[in-house]
Structure 1
Amino acid sequence: MKLGLLLNIVLLMFARAVVAQESCDEARSVWPDVKDSGSEAALQSYANAFSHCGIYHELAQEALRGIGQPQVAMEETDTELHMETETAENTPRYSTKEFDCLLAAGAPTQLPDFVGVDWNDIETDYAIETCKAAASSSPEVQAAFSRAYYKAEEYGLAFDLALEAADGGSGLGMNTVGVAYSHGDGRSQDKEKAFIWFSKAAKTDFPMGQYNLARMYENGEHVEKDAYKAIEIYTQAAESGYTSAQDVLGDMYRRGEDVPKDLGLALRWYERAIESGEDTDSMYWSARIHGGHTGDYPIDELQALEFYERAAYLGDPDAQHSAAQVYFHGYGVEIDHLAAAMYFQAAAEQGHVKSMRKFGRITHESGDVEGAIDWYRKAAAAGDEVAQQLLDEILN
């Protein structure tokens, strides 16, 4: 990335952070380019822009110290921005290499103001090599290293590192030990030990540990099933911003199977999940509630479509199919077959069976018989009987 463009991006992010209090996701995403630039100006702008993102701010300060620059931190007051000279009291807790390990494999909510890496986004080879280079005895860095090995299915190495991190007080380390026992990864499955370790992780206020402990209460694993105890613990994790817990609370109040059904409360938790993690499941079910598909709740088709389209844009095939249905039938909007075809195709290409058949029919009606046959065959092979009937009509 060219330096001029990099500086403009960082300065733009600074303005957004001050005015709108943006999340620290951007700090994480732009950090590799800022670090690699070696630019004092870029590093200083980054440190100022993300002074509210503790671990990323410290990371930039550490890099600046490495090139011998005096450190300053921008702090916002009600009336103005002023500068404070850095002192030894706010020296970063981690070295640059330790930070790199945390950025490569650290978990969401592992540390304050730290975005972390979603499980599916861990690049195992890079994360393992980065954490090896850190050669750290820090419990949280060891826990991140363990997470990288776990993703690579090196369960023995992962467990040993997690246990060492847990002994040092890391909630993530304790949680990883619990997961190993719960799933039986690299050792005999033992739900009792899993419960013990999840309980320990939860006591450190680590949201992922709270979530896993709540799941055991919800499902009655090793303990008597207790939906209300599960909700109590899920809520602790949800209040800390853990998206999965927020989504589960929404599901529990939407279904109303183990606790009284409350669609208003379900929506509130889904909205929290959307705010904290752009959760597509929460978007989809918010749309279903607003569309009147889950029970007695005031129908708002336009609000439903907005949530469908947000989730569709992020690649959710169920939301793409539902958005297509809204446009195809004109639920609360004018009929738009072009928009419907676009969403049906997007969902079909991800394997959504009904969308395969629907897009096949649209393709057929447009005059592309071969294209229609291809989509009908795919849907029929996935078990769609209507698609098989349509295919037979063409071929016979």
Structure 2
Amino acid sequence: MANRVALQGLVAALAVAAAAPQAHAQEDARTSCLALALPPEAAVDVPGIDGTYWPDLDGAAALPACRAALAEHPDDPLVLATLGRALLRVGDYAESVEHIRRAADMGNPFGQSLLGYVHFTGWGVPQDPELGVRYYRMAADQGYSYAQVALGWALHGGRGIAQDDQEALRWFRRAAAQGDRSGLARLGQMYDRGWGVPVDLTEAVRLYTLAAHLGDPLAQANLGLTFYTGRGNRQNDAQALHWFRLAADQDWPPGQTGLARLYQIGAGVEQDLPRAIALYRQAAERGFLTAQLYLAEIYDRGNGVPEDDEEALYWYGLAADQGDEWAAERVAELAGATGGTCGDPLAARLESVLADIRDTFELSPPISTCSMLMVADPALRQLLGGADVPIVAELVEDSTGCTEVCREHDTACRDATSLLTAMAEDWQELTELAEARNCEL
């Protein structure tokens, strides 16, 4: 679950808190910070720095250098925004937003774009797509390519701003003209789908190819799909395998799903159903509808595995929750076959939530206990009762001791509070799923 990534971030935060920030022995702290955590689009004007894409960013490794850089350059907007990005990566949203906001207030486009992102997504602040779009536009108007792509995608989807594909195209073109891989990929997608322009598969493939060679996973997956389906007489299983695999290697759900399909049917590669199921599951667990449907169908029909109504019901249920009508029909048909229980998959998700909570408390019972009190969620208290976690009873009886605990470990307390809040939301989601399917956990 997503909490596993955040939990790793909490481990990193506790480790960083225990050591004094130190600059790299051989490099200027600012240079080290930017080399470790500056994104490529912000590194364009920084000599000697290539930038690091989000999936490759090791926030915990960057934090010591970035904190040292901030100590040396307290009013440097690029350092502020880069530190904010590293903190965002490890899940310290509150401190991250503090630094990002300072950079944005100084007019730095990287900071403005990051602030737009956190408001648009609700990371560390209340979700507000309209405010997110305003910050994206500030950065986009300064030529910042990431913000141009983000603004274009908001315009296409009509989130935080009126839907306008023509305006979206304009921003995608501006980003693509700078060689931004995501801008190239999104522009290719517009031509591929005929959004705001007539369908032009030749132009779409040209743009996808440029972006794919730059490492964009969306372009790689869409290029793989073009070769797999044979659109425009381009059928080529070997090329489909190549591009799907590159996208899957970046944990891109459509890439994982495309690669899984090739393994499932043995197209361009030796058939390997266990590997296909593992790839489908990775994508399905991240909410990718197509993967959920393929996985549900495998268990529903017993394609290479024993039929499993409970497993099929679980994945059909998730697909139905996303509005898929056929999945909803299968949920209704299969619901009576599960004996009134939600089945092993939902139970496994519940156990995963409990495991995340146990791991969080084992890191530091006092910090986690105080964070639990700050969340003050009755459902979370009920869940903790069955999790067998080391709650510090004296802090529950007298929470004034938490003031000192969280003063000493401020970042860790905030991280744990965010984690427990997310876990309570997971628990609420599970109970709602069970209620919707009229089954018991």
Q: What's the TM-score once normalised by structure 2's chain length? A: 0.54
- Give CA deviations for 1:354-395 in whole Å, capped at 9, x if unaligned: 35765995755xxxxxxx46x775445323869x8xx99xxx
Question: Does residue 281 of structure 1 match 2:218?
Answer: yes
- Counterpart residue number, 1:108: 40
Q: Distance between the aligned counterparts of 2:248 and 2:187, measured in 1? A: 22
Return the offset for 1:133.
1.9
Q: Which has the higher contact order (CA 8 A, sep 6+)?
A: 2
Greater helix percent: which structure? 2
Q: 1:320 aligns with which of 235, 253, 259?
A: 259
Cα 1:177/1:317, change in 2 over 3 Å: closer
Counting only pairs closer than 5 Å after superposition, residues 131-150 of structure 1 correspond to structure 2 as 131-134=66-69, 135=71, 136-137=73-74, 138-150=76-88
Give yes or no for contact 1:292–1:298 (8 Å, CA) kept in 2. no
Give yes or no for contact 2:295–2:315 (8 Å, CA) kept in 1. no
Runs of 4+ deviating beyond 6 Å: none
Counting only pairs closer than 5 Å after superposition, residues 65-76 of structure 1 correspond to structure 2 as none
Cα 1:205/1:313, change in 2 over 3 Å: closer
Give yes or no for contact 1:344–1:356 (8 Å, CA) kept in 2. no
Cα 1:273/1:96, change in 2 over 3 Å: same
Give yes or no for contact 1:317–1:346 (8 Å, CA) kept in 2. no
Q: 1:304 aligns with which of 228, 240, 255?
A: 240
Q: What's the TM-score once normalised by structure 1's chain length? A: 0.59
Cα 1:133/1:313, change in 2 over 3 Å: closer
Return the offset for 1:172.
0.8
Give yes or no for contact 2:40–2:53 (8 Å, CA) kept in 1. yes
Q: Distance between the aligned counterparts of 2:43 and 2:62, measured in 1? A: 18
Q: Distance between the aligned counterparts of 1:166 and 1:313, measured in 2? A: 33
Q: Distance between the aligned counterparts of 2:246 and 2:115, measured in 1? A: 36
Q: Which amino acid aligns with 2:42?
A: Q
Return the offset for 1:274.
0.9
Q: 1:270 aligns with which of 187, 200, 208?
A: 208
Cα 1:280/1:379, change in 2 over 3 Å: farther
- Counterpart residue number, 1:130: 65
- Give CA deviations for 1:232-285 in whole Å, capped at 9, x if unaligned: 1112222333332222222222221433211112112211221112x3332222
- Counterpart residue number, 1:98: 30
Give yes or no for contact 2:265–2:271 (8 Å, CA) kept in 1. no
Larger radius of gyration: 1
SS at match of 2:40: coil
- Give CA deviations for 1:16-44 in whole Å, capped at 9, x if unaligned: xxxxxxxxxxxxxxxxxxxxxxxxxxxxx
Give the number of equivalent residue pairs. 282
Q: 2:314 aligns with which of 372, 375, 381?
A: 381
Give yes or no for contact 1:345–1:355 (8 Å, CA) kept in 2. yes
Identity %: 24
Q: Which amino acid aligns with 1:304?
A: A
Q: Which amino acid aligns with 1:205?
A: G
